[in-house]
Amino acid sequence: MTQERILVIGGGVAGMQAAAALREEGFEPFIIEKEKAAGGHVARWDRLFPTQLRAQEVIDRLSAGAEGIGSATGCEIVSVLPEADGVTAIAADGQRFEGRAAVVATGFDLFDARFKEEYGYGMYENVVTSAELERMFREGRVAMRSGEAPKRVAILHCVGSRDEKVGQNHCSKVCCITGIKQAIELTEAVPGVQVTNFYMDLRAFGNGYEELYRRSQVEHGVTYVRGRISEAGETLDKRIQLKVEDTLVGRPLRLTVDMLVLLVGMRAPGCCSSFGLPTQENGFFAPRDPYVETVASPVRGIYLAGTATGPKTIGETVNEALAVARRIKRDLAK
């Protein structure tokens, strides 16, 4: 008996784990990744909340699990079509992939901070995104463009999350704890640096998050100000001047920092509108229902895993990837 082929679109955490689980269930998974290498966003991260585990360790373990699974890289899928007894995925270059079913594990895009023009990203040299800060951590050197180490850093939460003005009304869920983690890491990377987080609400919901939040203040001296930065300006010496209201005290603040880190949120990638699958109001793919059918799309033969359906942590993504394999097994057995 030939094994049934299942297409896994996306080679990040969800894709790799789903492929590994599908193989264990007796299928022949095939990973299609748009980048040159698998690993997704996590592969570009330095360390992970809440334990500061090296991201590479997670990627290594997932890659090991997916070892030997067939894949196509550098291949961007633009549409997924349900067929009579299977699914066809069509790539941008015209390639067609056929399978008995498909797992859409396309993940998320980072919000493009240039659309919050008032923060000057792309214009002021010392305004960076949280992703760029991770790269600095990986490279082992946190510095301003001039090469100097920053003495004061501001981390701004909710850039492109919970913001109607840029059409991103949803909470990206993982940025609060990422901001806490990055603040701690900043104090570790740059001794003596003073880090202030500007937040709307701090949502430390997961295991160990609240503890990390507390530790960042007690042990690392990170400060938290409730208030969203209204605008940023660049001073002559390329530092960043911030205008913000401390909403707990009810007073406007004006302060100058050496570096502004924007905690960019997760937004639905372009494929959410091009695949032709139903989407939610936040733009991400819609599961068949959000309670007990979280990994099935409303379209027969097409399944969903990970942040394709909205912001999630790595642990949640891995769980969904396991669930989707089990779910496909059950559906195809019918």
Partner 1 sequence: MQPGSPWFFDPFVIPFTVGVIWLFGAILWKWGRWFVSLPAGDKALIRHNILSAKSLKALKEVVLECLIHRKIWKTNPMLGFMHMSLALGWFLLIVVGKLETSTYIQDPVNPPHVHVFFRYFFPEEPASYVRHFNYALLMDCLLIFVLCGVALAWGKRAYSRMMGMRRTTRHTPFDRIALSALWLIFPLRYIAESVTCGVHDSGSFFTGGTGDLLASAVPMGMLSALEYPAWWAYSIVLGLFFVALPYSRYMHIFTEVPLIFLRAYRLKAKPEGSSFDNFQIQACSRCGICLDPCPIAADLNINHIQAAYFLRDRRYGHLTPQVADTCLMCGRCAEACPVGIEQGTLRLSSRVAFARQTSSYNIPRYEFLTAAEDRSEGTGKVGFFAGCMTQLTPGVLRAMEKIFAAAGVDVWWADRNGGVCCGRPMRLSGNLPAAKKMQDYNTELFRKHHITTLVTGCPICYKSFTEEYGELQQTGIRVLHHTQYIAELIAGGRLKTSVVQTSYAYHDPCELRGIYAEPRYVLSHVATLTNAESREKDRVHCCGGSLANLTLDTAAQTKIGTTVVRNLLATGAETIVTSCPQCKKSLQRSAGNDRTRVVDIAEAVAEAV
Report DSSP letters for 133-175, one per residue.
Answer: HHHHHHHT----TTSPPPSEEEEEEEETSSBGGGTB-S--SSH
Smallest distance from the beta carbon of 15 to partner 1, in angstroms? Answer: 22
Q: Is 270 in the site for partner 1 (CB under 8 A)?
A: yes
- 229-268 footprint of partner 1 as x/- string (CB under 8 A): -xxxxx--------x----------x------------x-
Exposure of 281 in the CB half-sphere (CA atoms within 13 A): 6
Residue 117 found at the interface with partner 1 (CB under 8 A): yes
Q: What is the smallest separation between the CB atom of 110 and partner 1, expressed in angstroms?
A: 11
Judged by CB under 8 A, the number of residues near partner 1 is 21
**Residue whose CB is less far from partner 1, 267 or 327:** 267
| Closer residue to partner 1 in complex, CB, 169/207 | 169
Dist CA 14 CA 310 (whole Å): 13
195: which DSSP letter? E
Quickly count: other Cβ atoms within 10 Å of residue 228's Cβ. Answer: 17
Between 223 and 230, name the residue whose CB sits nearer to partner 1: 230
Q: Does 206 bind partner 1 (CB under 8 A)?
A: no
Angle at CA of residue 299, ends 295 and 304, nearest 5°: 25
Q: Which is nearer to partner 1, 98 or 112 (CB)?
A: 112
Q: Does 60 bind partner 1 (CB under 8 A)?
A: no
Q: Which of 334, 306, 323 is nearest to 25 (CA)?
A: 323
Residue 123 beta carbon to partner 1: minimum distance, rounded to whole angstroms: 6
What gap in Å lies between CA 279 and CA 6, rounded to an integer?
Answer: 22
Window 150-169: contact mask with partner 1 (x via CB under 8 A):
--------------xxxx--
76: contact with partner 1 by CB under 8 A? no
Contact between 10 and 104 under an 8 Å Cβ cutoff? The reply is: yes
